Amino acid sequence: MSQRDATLTTARKGNPPALSVDHLSKRFGERLAFDDLSFEVGRGEVFGFLGPNGAGKTTAVRTLGTLLAPTSGTASVAGIPLSPENGVEIRRRIAIMPESPGLYLRLSVVENLECFADLYEVPNPVDRIDQALRAVNMSDRAHDPCGTLSKGLRQRVALARALLSDPEVLFLDEPTSGLDPVAARDVHELIDELRKRGVTIFLTTHRLGEAERLCDRVAILNTTLRTIGRPDELRDRLFAKTLKVLTRVPLPEPGSVFAALAGVSGWQQNGPGQDGVGSYLIAVSDPAIAAPAVTQALVAVGADVLSISESRHSLEDVYLELIDEDIEADRR
């Protein structure tokens, strides 16, 4: 167990989950925004919420943020049951950074933050604003009117605004949307920093690499919850582990080489190899055990081995596999 996992486990033992969602649904008239969501997010966890446009991610965030009332189901946010009566108390403990920064463009950065510090009734607002601005590297632009800032800088101000109240749960809706790679990296570092401070982060994103790098667990939503788990678990659940083998020339009888090996559950030719090389994908239960056996078998038949490597599936592969399944199901 990693130090990170240990911290999370300890946090979960002592406290109720930061978010607990039970069969939650939201319908707008005839249109179903999301349906039957059930999951928990532990305190201090960075939880990724992925899905295509229109999957219900933003509606789910708005529902958990008490802006919209669920049609059915129950939830608790920051340990407080989600209900209209508890709206103010929940909003005191959370912060939401919407996809659109929504800044007052005629006001300066610091004036925007002063307004929100008062709305959250933040104690020592001057210090908090200063800390929030430093956290997003915007101290030098504090007195610039927000209307003069680029999209990326506005996004940073919106993030500073979300940090003002020192929230227990922070909802970030596409926080790196429109940011250049350096600015996106800064946001990632900030999320890492918040994670170390024990802030629970609910991150919706289209950037699958971002989710893979930042999130302890991810959920893939397409109106209903398609899957939930750690990124590596999802890969293992969805895709067989494979070794990719390249030989200088195609093997005359690859079936006789691979089929009989322990730990190998199947193999296939990986298309026509470039420059006449042989290329094979070997499905294995454990690459660390199977790789030496495959190497020995290849050497035994006199094959000229160019490389043997584990073929890794990304979170993007998982995502596309699930969403493609949904598209296929819709077509049928």
Partner 1 sequence: MSLSTRRIRAIVRKELKDYRRNRTLVVTMTILPLIFLIQPTVVILLYHKESAAALAQGHALLYMLAIPALVPAAVAAAAVVGERQQSTLEPVLTTPITREEFLLGKALAALIPSVAIAYAVYAAFVILVILFAQPGVPAAILRAPDILAQVLLTPLIAAWSIWVGLAISTRSSDVRVAQQISLLGNLPLFAVSSLVAFDVIHATLGLALALAALLLVLDVVGWRIVSAMFDRERLIADTR
Residue (158 or 294) nearer to partner 1, CB? 158
Cβ-Cβ contacts under 8 Å for 159 (sequence gap 6 or more): 97, 135, 136, 172, 175, 187, 190
User: What does the binding site for partner 1 look like in residue numbers (CB under 8 A)?
Assistant: 28-29, 31, 59, 62, 65, 67-69, 88-89, 91-92, 94-96, 98, 100-107, 111, 114-116, 118-121, 158, 161, 165
Least distance from partner 1 to the Cβ atom of residue 195, Å = 21
Q: Using the minimum distance from each CB to partner 1, give the nearer residue, 59 or 227.
A: 59
Tell me if residue 1 falls in helix, strand or coil.
coil
Nearer to partner 1, 141 or 154 (CB): 154
Q: What DSSP letter does each residue of 304-325 carry, written as one string?
A: -EEEEEEEPPPHHHHHHHHHHH
71 vs 139, beta carbon nearer partner 1: 71
Distance of alpha carbon 59 from the chain centroid: 17
Measured from the CB atom, the residue of 121 and 253 that comes closer to partner 1 is: 121
Alpha helices in 120-180 (DSSP H): 125-135, 151-163
Taking the complex as a whole, the smallest distance from the CB of residue 119 to partner 1 amounts, in Å, to: 4
CB 54 → partner 1: shortest distance, Å?
Answer: 13
For partner 1, give the closer residue by CB, 107 or 246: 107
Question: 274 by DSSP, 3-state: which?
Answer: helix
- The per-residue b/e assignment along 156-175, b for 16 or more CB within 10 angstroms, e otherwise, is bbbbbbbbbbbbbbbbbbbb
Nearest distance in Å: CB 198, partner 1: 21
Q: Return the SS3 of 269.
A: strand
As measured in angstroms, the least distance from the Cβ of 100 to partner 1 is: 4
| Contact criterion met (CB below 8 Å) for 31 and 56 | no
Element housing 116 (H / E): helix 109-119
CB-based contact 178:149 (threshold 8 Å): no
Q: Least CB distance from residue 74 to partner 1, whole Å?
A: 18
